[in-house]
């Protein structure tokens, strides 16, 4: 029997409905993506990495329920280049973003494609909440680089009365916040939670780069009151700031849990570089060096990922990884395909943390910061860094993570091998697009007289 015209009509409507509905179902199945990016946080300053004095229960929960990387690195040892690497999945030196001065003069190269750009094409709602530091001009700001919204500062700022502030919901104009009750860390948590609430019907990408723990050290009294036993004023401020950041992360985690998306969300917690030690008390857990050096204390950072049901819980991963890996990991998780034409330096970490692949994600890693540089191949690292001599030093990080025993004189062939690797890589990098100001940078890094503000 032939179907009636009414049946055919309803069948057509049903087919159209299925066809329209299918993309929405697929979109709902995409994981949400969250990156917490701490500023100037030392390798040893969270509970998950050994700190006993400053409770960080929410950060630690990410490690407990996910993967803690003991050898997590960033591709640059200070603020703006580190962010440039994270946003692009490429060594920032490849496109001339070697120094902070690039952000001060221009910004992230306009030919570079950001992680937000890539996720927008996959149907994601995107927001940047926090410290951008990838250019202040209108064409370099987050809302021109793939983000639907931006709420935060364009570069470094005080925590109270922040400057260079943009709230794209109101205006793209830059302003200063004069509200005495406004504290950046708390405000970033509040906006993030609000944005999640408003966008929960879509797959979401939230990039939350805190200005904590960067100087100036500032914290509300309610956080200072949590540390009555810390008598050093600077250290108490640092602890209070850490506690505020941990609370902010906890609020985001709670909101994701509240909307029933915890199992469907991939979180990363990473620091942008090592701690500057004396200027903020930020400690690097026994590593040599600090922010703006190429010893381990500069590029090795806290690095945690949680994706319940996909990544193993409570796993400690010992092989080296880098912040450049975040983009390909996230894009692949979102259902995208990494194209070789993108010329990424990062890799998808999923098969490595799940055990599907036994090899290391990277056999060789590189750094260049003006006259300072380093190359790590396997467990051997060749380095020239501030605080050392002019000649390259060689260390076996498997047995000497503190870089205390220079093996250059006894393993000259290994020195030559690693030098050749680094020379080849460095020749492939671009010239810095803006010169560094080493005197100014060193002064900032070593200034012990910054006033600690308390409100």
Measured CA to CA, the distance from residue 84 to residue 115 in angstroms comes to: 10
In this structure, the dihedral spanned by the alpha carbons of residues 263, 249, 60 and 220, taken in order and rounded to 10 degrees, is -160
Contacts of 396 (CB under 8 A, 6+ apart): 379, 380, 381, 405, 407
Measured CA to CA, the distance from residue 110 to residue 120 in angstroms comes to: 17
Pairing of strands 380-384, 372-377: antiparallel
Contacts of 55 (CB under 8 A, 6+ apart): 47, 243, 246
In this structure, the dihedral spanned by the alpha carbons of residues 178, 183, 188 and 189, taken in order and rounded to 10 degrees, is -140
What would the DSSP string read from start to end of 279-315? TTTB--TT-S--TTSSSTTTTB--EEEE-TTTSPTTE
Please give the DSSP secondary-structure letter assigned to residue 451: P
Contact present, 362 and 346 (Cβ < 8 Å) = no
- Positions marked catalytic: 79, 133
Kindly state the tokens that stand for 119.
């996720």
Measured CA to CA, the distance from residue 182 to residue 421 in angstroms comes to: 49
Contact present, 141 and 112 (Cβ < 8 Å) = no
Kindly state the tokens that stand for 363.
């056999």
Query: Phi/psi at 313 (nearest 5 deg)?
Result: -90, 135
Contact present, 74 and 272 (Cβ < 8 Å) = yes
Residues in the chain, how many?
A: 455
Reference 189, options 242, 240, 251; nearest CA is 251
Q: How far is CA 83 from CA 88, 95, 206, 218, 378, in A?
A: 9, 13, 15, 23, 25
Measured CA to CA, the distance from residue 277 to residue 318 in angstroms comes to: 25
Q: Which residue reads 């509040």 in tokens?
A: 190
Partners of residue 205 on adjacent β-strands: 33, 126
């Amino acid at each position: 029997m032939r179907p009636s015209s009414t049946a055919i009509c309803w069948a057509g409507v049903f087919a159209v409905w299925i066809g329209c509905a299918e993309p929405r179902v697929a979109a709902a199945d995409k994981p949400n993506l969250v990156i917490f990016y701490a500023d100037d946080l030392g390798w040893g300053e969270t509970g998950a990495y050994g700190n006993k004095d400053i409770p960080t229960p929410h950060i630690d929960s990410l490690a407990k329920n996910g993967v803690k990387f003991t050898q997590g690195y960033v591709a640059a040892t200070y603020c703006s280049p580190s962010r440039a690497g994270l946003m692009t999945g490429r060594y920032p030196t490849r496109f001339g973003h070697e120094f902070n001065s690039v952000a001060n003069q221009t910004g992230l190269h306009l030919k570079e494609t950001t992680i937000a750009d890539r996720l927008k094409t996959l149907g994601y709602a995107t927001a940047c909440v926090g410290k951008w530091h990838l250019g202040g001009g209108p064409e370099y700001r987050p809302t021109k680089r793939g983000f639907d919204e931006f709420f935060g500062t364009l570069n470094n700022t005080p925590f109270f009365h922040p400057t260079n502030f943009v709230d794209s919901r109101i205006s793209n104009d830059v302003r200063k916040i004069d509200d005495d009750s406004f504290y950046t860390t708390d405000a970033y948590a509040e906006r993030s939670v609000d944005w999640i609430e408003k966008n929960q019907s879509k797959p979401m990408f939230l990039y939350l780069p805190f200005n904590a723990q960067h100087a100036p050290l500032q914290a509300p009294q309610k956080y200072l009151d949590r540390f009555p036993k810390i008598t050093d004023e600077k250290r108490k401020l640092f602890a209070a700031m850490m506690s505020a950041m941990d609370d902010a992360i906890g609020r985001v985690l709670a909101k994701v849990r509240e909307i029933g998306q915890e199992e469907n969300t991939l979180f990363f917690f990473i620091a942008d570089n090592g701690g500057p030690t004396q200027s903020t008390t930020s400690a690097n857990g026994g590593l040599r060096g600090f922010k703006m050096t190429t010893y381990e204390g500069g590029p090795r950072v806290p690095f945690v990922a949680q994706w319940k049901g996909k990544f193993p819980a409570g796993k400690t991963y010992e092989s080296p990884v880098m912040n450049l890996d975040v983009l390909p990991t996230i894009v692949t998780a979102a259902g995208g395909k990494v194209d070789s034409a993108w010329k990424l330096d990062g890799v998808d970490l999923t098969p490595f943390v799940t055990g599907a692949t036994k090899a290391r994600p990277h056999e060789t890693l590189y750094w260049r910061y003006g006259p300072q540089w380093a190359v790590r191949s396997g467990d051997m690292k060749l380095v020239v860094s501030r605080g050392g001599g002019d000649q390259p030093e060689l260390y076996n990080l498997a047995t000497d993570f503190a870089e205390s025993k220079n093996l250059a004189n006894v393993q000259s062939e290994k020195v030559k091998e690693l030098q050749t690797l680094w020379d080849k890589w460095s020749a492939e990098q671009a010239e810095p697009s803006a010169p560094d100001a080493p005197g100014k940078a060193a002064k900032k890094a070593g200034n012990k007289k910054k006033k600690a503000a308390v409100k």
